[in-house]
Amino acid sequence: MDKKNKVLLLGLGNDILSDDAIGLHVAREVRRRLCGIEGVEVRETCEMGVALLDHITGFEDLVLVDAIQTGRSPPGFLHEFDGGGLKLLPAVSPHFLGVGETLALGRKLGMEMPSRVKIFAIEVEDPFTVSTQMTPALQRAMPTLVERVAAAVLGIAAKQSVK
């Protein structure tokens, strides 16, 4: 299936670090809901930085779901923002590239990077404990999170199909 003009939902996280796995869990559930929907691909990965290029190259739209811990919102709160304003680090670290740097690097290398990026950052309670179970607050929030992310992905796919 040709990736061009498709939406990629990419769930990020570490599946052995409690709440850090929220992006992976949301992606799995959204995949079940959207199975068979034309123009949508759902993936999950524990990778970051340059390794993300293998996943995101060739897609028109990218929707990322990941954990965040700001301490300013309750666990399960869904922060939504447009990736167009992703800031680049002032200096490149040899060990880690953020999403903004990864997209910029892909463009610099002449790779076909998504032109639109939407980010869902889910507030988490405990992203550091080694566990395959999320905290109860995130487990309770899962149905709502999945519903909101799935609706957003469907909305993006619908816009693409009218092109």
pLDDT confidence band for 139 (50 / 70 / 90): very high
49-79: pLDDT as tens digits: 888 999 999 999 999 999 999 999 999 999 9
20-34: pLDDT as tens digits: 999 999 999 999 999
Domains in the chain and their CATH numbers? Answer: 7-161 (3.40.50.1450)
User: Rounded to whole angstroms, how far apart are CA atoms 105 and 2?
Assistant: 23
pTM of the model: 0.89
**How large is the average pLDDT for residues 2-15?**
84
Which stretch of DSSP H or E encloses residue 28?
helix 22-34
User: Rounded to whole angstroms, how far apart are CA atoms 163 and 157?
Assistant: 10
